[in-house]
Amino acid sequence: GNSVTQMEGPVTLSEEAFLTINCTYTATGYPSLFWYVQYPGEGLQLLLKATKADDKGSNKGFEATYRKETTSFHLEKGSVQVSDSAVYFCALRNQAGTALIFGKGTTLSVSS
Amino acid sequence: SAVISQKPSRDICQRGTSLTIQCQVDSQVTMMFWYRQQPGQSLTLIATANQGSEATYESGFVIDKFPISRPNLTFSTLTVSNMSPEDSSIYLCSDGGRQGTGITDTQYFGPGTRLTVL
């Protein structure tokens, strides 16, 4: 079946540190891959996406590259800010029109 | 991006009662999805709401407990019936595709309904 595995949190970093949140997936076919972010007390927002192998999604300084050979979509940011503190969810969609499948989420806490 | 609204944004309910959550999308969509997010957990798909047909439920969710309506292409409701404290969660709706423009692979979410059952 289809599934998403994220690194366990929480992740605690100092401001300006480098961030990596690992995400690997299992899927039949060629899924689209997503990172969503949930800020405290808010809804779920799309952060970035990639729809085919070797695509790089990027937004707000975050990046993730779709690696088919390692079935991974790791989220990175070169210099985190306190405002990046949130829960990050990796997700896949195996076919257009089907529902997203989410990982368990990783809580990021950034201190100044 | 899509604009999706939900009502109510939060509620506190008594055990044994029911609550209906409304979801409104700003344009016509082929499918809508309902998710549950239990405290500190990820999102779990409850069901897919299709216009003109019965909703499709995921394993562990049944129509008697979570009846869904989809009267048109921009609106859906989810009812949480005969509630117990275990139903305390955030319930989110999501769109699954834009009518008339082909199916997009980006899913947008409403802000969620935070439900507490006493």
Confidence of residue B103 (pLDDT cuts 50, 70, 90): very low
Residue B107 to residue A96, Cβ atoms within 8 A:
no
Interface probe, candidates B30, B42, B113, chain A, greatest A C-beta count within 10 A: B42
Interface of A with B in 43-102 (CB under 8 A): 43-46, 49, 51, 89, 93, 96-102
Residue B106 to residue A103, Cβ atoms within 8 A:
no
pLDDT one-digit tens code per residue, B78-88: 999 999 999 99
Q: Is the pLDDT of residue A26 over 70?
A: yes
pLDDT one-digit tens code per residue, A42-99: 888 999 999 889 999 999 999 999 999 999 999 999 999 999 999 999 999 887 668 8
Top mean pLDDT of B1-15, B73-87, B102-116 is at B73-87
At A26 the three-state DSSP class reads strand
Q: Is the bond into A40 cis (omega within 30 degrees of 0)?
A: no
Helix, strand, coil percentages in chain B from 3-state DSSP, rounded to 5: 5, 50, 50
pLDDT one-digit tens code per residue, A13-24: 999 999 999 999
Q: How many CB pairs under 8 A join A and B?
A: 55
- pLDDT on residue A97: 67
Measured from the Cβ of residue B74, the count of other Cβ atoms closer than 10 Å reads 18
Q: Could you tell me if B89 lies within 8 Å of chain A, comparing CB atoms? A: no
- pLDDT on residue B102: 44
Residue B13 to residue A14: CA distance in whole angstroms: 40
Residue A97 to residue B111, Cβ atoms within 8 A:
no
- Residue A33 has, within 13 A of its CA and on its CB side, a CA count of 32
Among the listed ranges B7-11, B45-49, B67-71, B103-107, which one has the minimum average pLDDT value?
Answer: B103-107
Radius of gyration of chain B (CA): 14
Q: Rounded to a whole number, what is the distance in Å from the CA of A17 to chain B's nearest CA?
A: 25
Residue A43 to residue B112, Cβ atoms within 8 A:
yes
Q: Is the pLDDT of residue B27 over 50?
A: yes
